[in-house]
Amino acid sequence: MSRSHLSSVVFSLVMGPLCVALSTGSGSVHAQVPIFVRGDADGNQDRQITDAILVLNWLFTGGRPPVCLPVADSNADGLVNISDPVALLGHLFLGNPAPAPLSAAEISVCGGVDPEAVARGMKEFEQPDPNGNPFACATCHSMSPDEGADLLRPGHTLLNSLTRPNYKGTATANFVGAVNVCRNDWMAVVDPAPPGNFKPWLETDSRFKDLVAFIKSLQTEDQSPALQFEIVAPAQSGPPTQGEAAAGCKLFNRSCRICHGLDAKGSELGPSLLDVTTLCQENPGGLCLNANCEPMTAACLDNPDYIRYRIRLSGPNHPGQVYNVPQGFTLAGTVMPFWSRDKLSDGEVEDLTAYILAARSAVRQGMEFDCNTQPNPDGKVLRRGKFTGLLHGVKGNAEELDTRKIRLTEFSYDGGGISVKVWLYNRGGNIRNGRAIGPELKGLPMSNTTFVVDIPAEVALDSFDSVSIWCVSVRQDFGHAEMTPVP
């Protein structure tokens, strides 16, 4: 039997009349470091019938090869032959066991990262250290580009951070040193035995290696420049005459809300800024009003100078701290991070200051400062579905309104994740081919809430039939609702 005849027979017996065209495509110069899975011959991180077709085409018709040989070895016998696509099809359609995980040696051969290590590393990134405070890497850092981000964070993105030449303004030359600064200064991690001491991670520690595997899995650049940032003192003192409270409220809910909650009402990470019962500390020692270190009159949130100071100069002030502070000033000695000039402009600091003062004034008058950020929820329901929750407490309902809005009702979500959005997709295709809409949800916990987002004009209404709460950075579904028409 000829090679081409054998291929035809195999396709007739195994595939039936199915005909699939495979394209090699042309990727970008830099691609994310792949996560390889046995059986996923085309490397899209999903085992499908197309993977079996690709291997058969390669074996018998000279088609495109698999992304690497170990992933094509579905039965893990060390060989790649016709038994491998048959084994994969048996798993996909006959309920046979899934292909075995790749070994560390096979992952190394493929040049990828261990998916189990990536999963553990994502937890290290997203969750607080059990021996520290409630902060996690994801509290201050994203895994997406900082430019154009909906949610502003005081720390810079860790995307491509492994390829930077140095860290913390050249204070440390390696990534593990930068991580240990964060664990010590911001996350307040102490070693449980003996208690009270900070024990830095080594590059050989398994938890650090898992974190590196996660960050590497999203890497898109082989080289990245060192970060340039400047810690600055407040640009002015006295009342925020140039600040706009309404703009400050919207900015607060794009930045400070991760710790201090929506509309400054507080969260488990940071206190409410609307508590007007807190007494001021008069003439606080160590807080300077300007470079001449004139003493600040009061340390409380009714003092605009104190608000500015905490925005610009919060952070550690212990001996040996690595940050360059403006002459005449010290950091406040807190785990609240500073906001450098590249993260917030002087005008934005004034807007935030004006908002906090206005919101506290409203509380004293028995009112609430209105940010007017919630879109109008009215409209006729066209399609509706109930969320199947998977992670972060997602539950509730999703509705499509005839006003081009998605309304989430009785909706709950714990605010966790990395970069989280409402995600529209078609369940007949791959969920990863959907698109994000609306504001950043990370740091926006909701409980039995109605939440509404607009459907952008460029999105065709027939292009989606499902809604997910989607972690954009790592392409993970926290929960989804499959919508059906409402009579």
Domain boundaries, the chain: 3-110, 115-217, 245-364, 381-485
Predicted local distance difference test score (pLDDT) of residue 465: 97
> Given this chain, do its domains 115-217 and 245-364 carry the same CATH topology?
yes
CB 33 within 8 A of CB 222: no
- DSSP per position, 165-222: S-BTTTTBSSHHHHHHHIIIIIS---BSSSTTB--PPPTT-HHHHHHHHHHHHT---S
**Residues 102-152: tens digit of each pLDDT:** 887 888 788 888 888 988 999 999 999 999 999 999 999 999 999 988 899
Lowest mean pLDDT among 10-19, 31-40, 100-109, 408-417: 10-19
Predicted local distance difference test score (pLDDT) of residue 455: 96
Alpha carbon distance 367, 353 (integer Å): 19
What is 3-110's CATH number, 2.130.10.10, 1.10.1330.10, 3.30.300.20, 1.10.260.40?
A: 1.10.1330.10
Q: How many CB atoms lie within 10 A of CB 378?
A: 11
Alpha carbon distance 429, 432 (integer Å): 9
Is residue 1 over pLDDT 90? Answer: no
Structure tokens at 178: 């930068």
Can you give the pTM of this predicted structure?
0.77
φ/ψ (deg, to 5) at 383: -140, 150
Lowest mean pLDDT among 72-86, 102-116, 209-223, 346-360: 102-116
Is residue 459 over pLDDT 90? Answer: yes
Is residue 14 over pLDDT 70? Answer: no
Q: Angle 206-217/115-126 helices, nearest 10 degrees?
A: 100
Task: Tell me which DSSP letter residue 197 carries.
Answer: B
Structure tokens at 114: 């261990």
Lowest mean pLDDT among 83-97, 101-115, 243-257: 101-115
CATH architecture group of domain 115-217 = Orthogonal Bundle (1.10)
CATH number of 245-364: 1.10.760
Is residue 335 over pLDDT 60? Answer: yes
Lowest mean pLDDT among 42-51, 200-209, 393-402: 42-51
**Residues 272-303: tens digit of each pLDDT:** 999 999 889 888 888 888 888 888 989 999 99
Alpha carbon distance 197, 190 (integer Å): 5
Predicted local distance difference test score (pLDDT) of residue 311: 98
Mean pLDDT of 201-220: 94
CB 43 within 8 A of CB 55: no
- Give the pLDDT band (50/70/90) at residue 173: very high
Is residue 12 over pLDDT 70? Answer: no
Cis peptide before 194 (omega within 30 of 0): yes
